[in-house]
Chain A
Amino acid sequence: MRSVESFPISARVLHWLMAAMILAMLFIGVFMAAAVGPAYHTLVDLHRPLGIAILLLALVRLANRFLFRAPTLPDTLPPALKLAARASHVALYALMIAQPLVGWGMLSAGAYPVTMWGGASLPPILPHDTALFATLRHLHSWLAFSLFAVVLAHLGAALLHGLVLRDDVFPSMTARRGGKK
């Protein structure tokens, strides 16, 4: 038994909360984009505020990431994989922040109201421009597919650490700080 260097509780709560929200958003998004049933409107109404919530949480998380040092990766990992791990986390942060901004910008460019809950709405962040709307609408899909691909790679890598390598990487996001392995 030895102690595991894990992420602080704030990072772990943000990670698991946002994991659930982002997976939910990816599934809601891909479903509603191909839906014409009554669920369409309900899901669009959910998609907007949930996206803004993810944006806000991602910014909090980014600040948190700079405030606390992340546990170092084990030396058993080859440098190329360490680099890949680092790059994939940069990609995750970039996509978590870019995707809601593209969604918000896309609605702004299409002159759609950016309705939240309870009748509140956000101001546009881009000028009304339909060509820009079309570009951002397509970009929103492609960023979603990219985010989903990185999430899958992240899940696969986490399980490889947890089930096969059985090093300290997986417990660093599940175990209490200083907890026992």
Chain B
Amino acid sequence: MLALIRKSLTGKGGALRLAAVVAAPAAVAAAFVATAGWLSPDRLTPATFMRDFHAVDGAHPGFRRNHAKGVCVSGWFDGSGAATPLSRAALFGKERSQVVGRFALAGGAPNQPDAPGKVRSMALQLIPTNGAEWRMGINDIPVFLVRNAADFSDFTLATAPVPGTGKPDPARMSAFLDKHPETKNALGLLKARALTSGFANDTYNSLDAFLFVNAEGVATPVRWAMVPEQTVEPPAAGEGGQDYLFDDLLKALAQGQLRWRLMVTVGEPGDPTADPTAAWPEQRRKIDAGTLTLTKAESEDGGPCTGITFDPLILPEGVAPSDDPIPAARSAVYSRSFTLRSGETKPPSEITPAAVRSGGQ
């Protein structure tokens, strides 16, 4: 064979042909390396956000990288049928879907103390008897703080404590806000929101816009909220134990069921779908799509919400992403967080099985 190679190389264009043998795989390999982002360390990737959360809250192996402090809940969702003209998803029909959910506080610290003004979240997995499941992570703030993944990363880093002071650099945040009036406005709306006394009587908003697609294939932009049936009360004065928000939730669930209405806001032409920092006009049509009933709380340790990720793009047929860039970023980042924490040993959660058994006493 070597003789064959030698003969071929001494022939006309031999060197060129040998160069092609090496160059073609090398070119494909170079394209692969570039596609993977290994040549562009500044590219925004899921790993960027892992580093951002680490910079703000430190390392907490085994826990979700954001909304780390939480508790599992379960129950069901009864579709009202009112949303079926807009979406062909089976769970909007008059049927019951099983629900696994999670209440949490925003932030990467799994042992942070509860406080009235901290952002609370509800995450849900709705599984109809026949048909595809729907997962969501929704929050008790009126609008999202940033328009896209890059801004989220910059904003998160601006809240990171600076070595030395242990506090965020105010200059960095004001520089970010000068560049991003939409975030300044969103923070204003967030501060002005009416706080409630706990998880049970709070309203959780999708913030992001999605599309409902009906049986005829017609797509309608929507946002939605879980609106409590529990009486809305302001935070009680003088409260503020380490886990008071979670303990109150455990107490409420030990006493009985908790219910929310899934209120779907129907967007109209011109309503911003790509910008989750912009609220839609208040007078938009709202549809009562069904009732969420939660009956049971469980600690993350042994509970059913720990082994799943509430990826907001796990959608049934009939619900589709809009041009809002945030859900895709959340989907990618949640996936990374899920992979990392699934391979780590998790210390006990703040809300322990014993705390759940005692009903938050």
Query: Which A residues are within 8 Å of any B CB, using their own CB?
Result: 23, 26-27, 30-41, 44, 76-78, 81, 110-113, 115, 118-119, 121, 128-131, 133-135, 137-138, 148, 152-153, 155-156, 159-160, 163-167
Contact = CB atoms under 8 A, between A and B. Distances in A.
A100 B181 CA distance: 46
B36 A31 contact: yes
B307 interface: yes
A131 B343 CA distance: 5
Contact of B328 (A38, A119, A164): A38
A37 B36 contact: no
B132 A121 contact: yes
Nearest to A149: B29
A164 B323 contact: no
Given A37-B325, A41-B321, A156-B22, A30 B28 contact: no
B5 interface: yes
Contacts of A165: 1, 4-5, 8
Given A35-B45, A36-B46, A163 B17 contact: yes
Nearest to B331: A41
A118 B25 CA distance: 37
B323 A38 contact: yes
A133 B133 CA distance: 20
Nearest to A156: B25
A19 to B, nearest CB: 12
7 contacts: A30-B32, A36-B48, A39-B328, A41-B328, A76-B4, A111-B307, A159-B21
Interface string B24-63: 1100110110011100000111111100000000000000
Among A33, A38, A160, A167, the most chain B Cβ lie within 10 Å of the Cβ of A38
Given A112-B311, A113-B132, A164-B8, 11 more contacts: A38-B323, A38-B325, A41-B321, A41-B327, A44-B331, A148-B29, A148-B32, A156-B21, A163-B18, A165-B1, A165-B5
A152 B328 contact: no
Interface of B: 1, 4-5, 8-9, 14, 17-18, 20-22, 24-25, 28-29, 31-32, 35-37, 43-49, 132-133, 149, 306-309, 311, 313-314, 316-317, 321, 323, 325, 327-329, 331-333, 338-340, 342-343
Contacts, number: 129
Given A41-B327, A130-B307, A34 B32 contact: no
Contacts of A129: 307
A164 B325 contact: no
From DSSP, what is the main secondary structure of chain A's interface residues? helix
A113 B309 CA distance: 11
A132 B113 CA distance: 33
Given A34-B43, A41-B321, A134-B342, A115 B8 contact: no
Nearest to A111: B308
A159 B339 contact: no
B17 A133 contact: no
A47 to B, nearest CB: 12
A135 B339 CA distance: 9
A21 B340 CA distance: 29
B307 A128 contact: yes
Contacts of A78: 1
Nearest to B340: A134
A32 B331 CA distance: 11
Among A30, A32, A129, A138, the most chain B Cβ lie within 10 Å of the Cβ of A30
B149 A138 contact: no
A51 B35 CA distance: 19
A134 B343 contact: yes
A156 B22 CA distance: 7
